[in-house]
Amino acid sequence: MNKEKLLGRQRLRRRHRVRKRVRGTPEQPRLCVFRSNRNISCQLIDDLASKTIAAASTLEAPLRAEVAYGGNKTAARLLGKTLAERAVAKGIRKVRFDRGSYRYHGRVAEVAEGAREGGLEF
């Protein structure tokens, strides 16, 4: 088995291990983070209804105007603040953080810190 296949399987297993413990409800949705090399996106998801409540991405025009490159810590923190503002506007204060298959450091941790600064609790 080649290395890429093995890493892909390990990543999927890690994501499922995290996800089985983190479920979103309408009162406390799941804050799901996705990162690529160039951009970051996050969503608030109600798993019971299978609906996305709010979403934000560094690909959006308002965030693009503030940050030139969407794949760094500065953009991640701003993204967290933006998502928190959208969530608070919809009456959501508490969320459950889903880091997916990523470690809680770097850009993923910055999204969380930005969301906390914006008023979300987790």
Instruction: Report the CATH number at residue 24.
Output: 3.30.420.100
The pLDDT score that the predictor gives to residue 20 is: 76
Q: Report the percentage of the chain scoring pLDDT > 70.
A: 96
Would you say residue 28 lies in a domain? yes
pLDDT digits (tens, 9 = 90+) for 22-63: 788 888 999 999 999 999 999 999 989 999 999 999 999 999
pLDDT of 96 higher than 70? yes
**Average pLDDT over the chain, rounded to whole?**
90
Alpha carbons within 13 A on the beta-carbon side of 81: 11
Q: How many domains does the chain have?
A: 1
What's the pTM?
0.84
pLDDT exceeds 90 at position 82: yes
Stretch 86-94: mean pLDDT, rounded? 95
Residue 97: domain span = 3-117
Residue 6 pLDDT greater than 70, yes or no: no
Residue 122 lies in a domain: no
Residue 7 has pLDDT above 90, yes or no: no
Could you tell me where the DSSP H helices lie in 46-72?
A: 61-66
The answer to whether 80 and 53 have CB atoms below 8 angstroms apart is: no
